[in-house]
């Protein structure tokens, strides 16, 4: 059962316009709800229309008017979806203040291959679809899609006008550590590098760029491709101080409130190009132990 947390951050977002990619469920849904609660107009987007309509309901229950939430349904891997997200946001709300590049996925190799045995084309697809640009296979890939570079390119002229902010959602997986499904880690390390490079370039246009790097967070992200037994094992493993010093998995609101903080110029104006780890302390643990225990 979804439960909304109700902390109002500041009045900064009143009337501001925000895009949150991957807002049909999980971290993106709670981030959209929290922006709505704080007075923003929000474009929510993903492929699952029913889930997006649920997100819209949560936003309305949290205080936004129906017209202040705009839904764009589509695969972010497609150029036309990306263009619709930007075009419809400007048509509906007149401007853009914040882009949250949150959509992403980690899908294990379907034949059970791990590490270097995973075929080259899967690495290429992860990098293309999780990071760089719209897919060359016109969205037919089953692999992660978030196309941060091309969506950001479309958003920049509008963010320059408002002196806005970009928050990328990366991962603690971006840090050097061992993992058996390491193509995802490679793509998130590249997201961190993208954040650094964009931040240095775009601050010259007045746009602030930072990333939030979550640790294990309670969504369907990792478990959606696992059977029930694996889900229970992961849950049991994660909810221990051996893995996460604070003794619990992250909640979506733990991540969402840091995203809002980084998007709020009145709170975080002087933070540029940083990767903020939000993980209950898990990245403080020994890398080898994490590698054996978590993935
Ligand atoms: P979920 O799997 O719960 O949600 C992922 C979101 O991304 C969904 O709204 C999904 O929408 C959207 N999405 C994925 N692919 C596409 C696509 N091709 N086109 C459009 N939308 C897409 O994941 P989380 O909320 O947990 O993850 C959000 C971000 O946080 C990701 O970038 C992930 O890498 C990162 N992260 C998550 C961690 C965790 O433990 N949960 C840990 C570290 C980082 P739909 O299905 O409707 O298309």
Taking the model in full, what pTM does it have? Answer: 0.90
Q: Which of 13, 35, 93, 184 is an active site residue? A: 184
Give the C-alpha separation, 250 to 280, whole Å.
7
In a domain, residue 240? The reply is: no
Ligand 1 atom at shortest distance from the alpha carbon of 26: 25
Instruction: Count, in order, helices (H) and strands (E) of the chain.
Output: 10, 7
CATH code of 164's domain: 3.40.50.720
Which structural domain, as residue segments, surrounds residue 32? 11-226+250-286
In a domain, residue 2? The reply is: no
- Show the DSSP H helices in 77-221 as ranges: 79-93, 120-127, 148-162, 182-202
CA separation (Å) from 26 to 52, 111, 178?
A: 11, 27, 25
pLDDT in tens, 181-223: 788 888 899 899 999 999 999 999 999 999 999 999 989 887 7
In a domain, residue 67? The reply is: yes
Distance 185 CA to ligand 1 centre (A): 15
Q: Is 183 a catalytic residue?
A: no
Q: Is the CB of 280 under 6 A from ligand 1?
A: no
Cβ atoms within 10 A of the Cβ of 3, count? 7
User: Who has greater pLDDT, 163 or 187?
Assistant: 163
Helix then strand then coil, in percent of the chain rounded to 5, is 50, 15, 40
pLDDT at 268 over 80: yes
Select from 33, 46, 294 the residue to mutate for testing ligand 1; criterion: most ligand atoms less than 8 Å from CB: 46
Distance 251 CA to ligand 1 centre (A): 14
Give the C-alpha separation, 46 to 245, whole Å.
33
In a domain, residue 194? The reply is: yes
Its sign, for the CA torsion 11, 17, 19, 23, is positive
Say if CB 150 and CB 198 are below 8 A apart: no
3-state secondary structure of 214: strand
What is the ipTM metric for this complex? 0.99
- Number of independent structural domains in the chain: 1
Ligand 1 atom at shortest distance from the alpha carbon of 28: 25
In a domain, residue 237? The reply is: no
Order of strands, edge to edge, in the sheet holding 98-101? 69-73, 41-46, 17-21, 98-101, 165-169, 208-214, 275-278
Distance 100 CA to ligand 1 centre (A): 12
In a domain, residue 242? The reply is: no
Report which protein residue has its CA nearest ligand 1's atom 12: 22
Ligand 1 atom at shortest distance from the alpha carbon of 27: 25
pLDDT in tens, 71-109: 999 988 888 999 999 999 999 999 999 999 999 877 677
DSSP 251: P
In a domain, residue 57? The reply is: yes
In a domain, residue 1? The reply is: no
Give me 135's structure tokens. 């897919």
């Amino acid at each position: 059962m979804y439960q909304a947390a109700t902390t109002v951050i500041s009045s900064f977002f009143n009337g501001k316009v925000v895009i949150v990619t991957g807002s049909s469920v999980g971290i993106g849904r709670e981030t959209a709800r929290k922006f709505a609660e704080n007075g923003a107009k929000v474009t929510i987007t993903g492929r699952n229309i029913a889930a997006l309509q649920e997100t819209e309901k949560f936003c309305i229950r949290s205080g936004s008017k129906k017209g202040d939430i705009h839904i764009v349904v589509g695969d972010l891997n497609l150029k036309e979806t990306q263009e619709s997200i930007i075009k419809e946001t400007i048509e509906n709300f007149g401007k853009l203040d914040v882009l949250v590049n949150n959509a992403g996925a980690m899908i294990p190799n379907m034949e059970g291959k791990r590490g270097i045995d995973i075929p080259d084309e899967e690495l290429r697809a992860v990098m293309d679809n999780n990071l760089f640009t719209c897919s060359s296979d016109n969205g037919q890939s089953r692999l992660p899609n978030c196309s941060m570079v091309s969506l950001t390119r479309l958003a920049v002229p509008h963010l320059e006008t408002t002196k806005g902010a970009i928050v990328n959602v990366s991962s603690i997986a971006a840090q050097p550590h061992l993992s058996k499904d390491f193509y995802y880690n490679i793509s998130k390390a590249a997201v961190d590098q993208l954040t650094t490079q964009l931040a240095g370039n775009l601050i010259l246009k007045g746009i602030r760029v930072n990333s939030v790097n979550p640790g294990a967070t309670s969504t369907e992200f990792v478990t959606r491709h696992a059977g029930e037994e694996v889900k229970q094992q992961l849950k049991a493993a994660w909810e221990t101080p051996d893995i996460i010093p604070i003794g619990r998995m992250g909640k979506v609101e733990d991540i969402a409130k840091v995203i809002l903080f980084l998007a709020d110029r009145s709170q975080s104006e002087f933070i540029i190009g940083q990767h903020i780890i939000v993980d209950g302390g898990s990245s403080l643990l020994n890398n080898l132990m994490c590698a054996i225990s978590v993935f």
